[in-house]
Structure 1
Amino acid sequence: MNSNEYSMAALESFVGRELGVSDWVVVDQARIDAFAQCTGDTQWIHVDVERAKRESPFGGTIAHGYLTLSLLAALAIEVGVIPGDASAGLNYGLDKVRFMTPVKAGARVRNRATLLAVERKSGGRAIVKMANELQIEGEDKPALIAETLAMLVA
């Protein structure tokens, strides 16, 4: 994507186009543990490394689904889904989320973002719908697919 062309005025011309792919991010045990502490979701499959090695069908701990979902915001910003001439991009919601493949502790993930739709609002605002695919390095299936909504403010 040419970031000089991608602007608030030109959003509609990018509908249906992939905006980019983020860099890889490691989802290590420290990140999983921090998320567990922050949310209170301390289920053993996420935080008990020894038990997960013994009992988990995945051979170790896995990231929370909502942890992987929460990574989309920063990875989408990295891709450049907020045009340079927008003053802000705010989470507006989700239309669809499917968790496809667990992310094992230590795996690397990245986001592939495609602009699906633009809805113009008053005051120079626009709601954009993005298709996000959180890919896992070395896996055929993504960790998740999600349609996210963002309010862009001019």
Structure 2
Amino acid sequence: MSIPGYRMATLAEFVGRELGTSDWVLVDQARIDAFAQCTGDRQWIHVDVERAKRESPFGATIAHGYLTLSLLASLAIEIGLIPGDASSGLNYGLDKVRFMAPVKAGSRVRSRVTLLSVEDKGDGRYMVKMANELQTDGASKPALLAETLALLVA
């Protein structure tokens, strides 16, 4: 997506504003299993569908918290976090992360991003801080709240 008027030179004008909301992304069992395979985190609550139906307080397997966290970068890019006149955007870190509610297998999530601050780092580089709210379709509270940092390079 493209955010009207959002460029490297106008970043500061967007502080305090919502940049946008991503499209919905399906977090299905195949994605959860692939994440478990990549990370080695094969805890039953994530990968054992039958046991999770029987024993989990959620009645189903749930996504890893770090899986939901890892979605934020691509969803922010989809929204248009990296202005068209930037050469790149680099993940820089996290300031706050809270896993607020589980994401059951088969759920759809999306991210709402608000620009919190911009810091000129010189040489055409800007550190931006975003508030990310990962929402689950049909849920009353967000799955995840996180403040993320990115370095945008002209």
TM-score surpassing 0.5?
A: yes
Q: How far apart, CA to CA, are the structure 1 residues paired with 2:83 and 2:148?
A: 16
Name 2:108's counterpart in structure 1: 108
Q: Which amino acid counterpart does residue 120 of structure 2 have in structure 1?
A: R
Q: How far apart, CA to CA, are the structure 1 residues paired with 2:80 and 2:110?
A: 14
What is the count of residue pairs matched by the alignment?
154
Deviation at 1:3, TM superposition (A): 2.6
> % of aligned pairs identical?
79
Deviation at 1:97, TM superposition (A): 0.3
Q: How far apart, CA to CA, are the structure 2 residues paired with 1:77 and 1:71?
A: 10
Name 2:41's counterpart in structure 1: 41
Q: How far apart, CA to CA, are the structure 2 residues paired with 1:71 and 1:113?
A: 13
TM-score by length of 2: 0.98
- Asked if 1:149 corresponds to 2:149, the answer is yes
Q: How far apart, CA to CA, are the structure 1 residues paired with 2:31 and 2:132?
A: 21
The answer to whether the 8 A contact 1:3-1:84 is kept is: no
Provide, for residues 54-100 of structure 1, a one-character-per-residue CA deviation record: whole Å limited to 9, x for no partner.
00000010000000000000000000011110000000000000000
Gaps spanning 5+ residues in structure 2: where?
none
Change (3 A) 1:83 1:140: same
Q: How far apart, CA to CA, are the structure 1 residues paired with 2:132 and 2:144?
A: 8
Q: How far apart, CA to CA, are the structure 2 residues paired with 1:135 and 1:59?
A: 20
Q: How far apart, CA to CA, are the structure 2 residues paired with 1:139 and 1:5?
A: 33
Q: How far apart, CA to CA, are the structure 2 residues paired with 1:2 and 1:48?
A: 40
RMSD: 1.0
List, as ranges, runs of 4+ consecutive aligned residues in structure 1 with deviation greater than 6 Å: none
Name 2:3's counterpart in structure 1: 3
Q: How far apart, CA to CA, are the structure 1 residues paired with 2:131 and 2:36?
A: 27
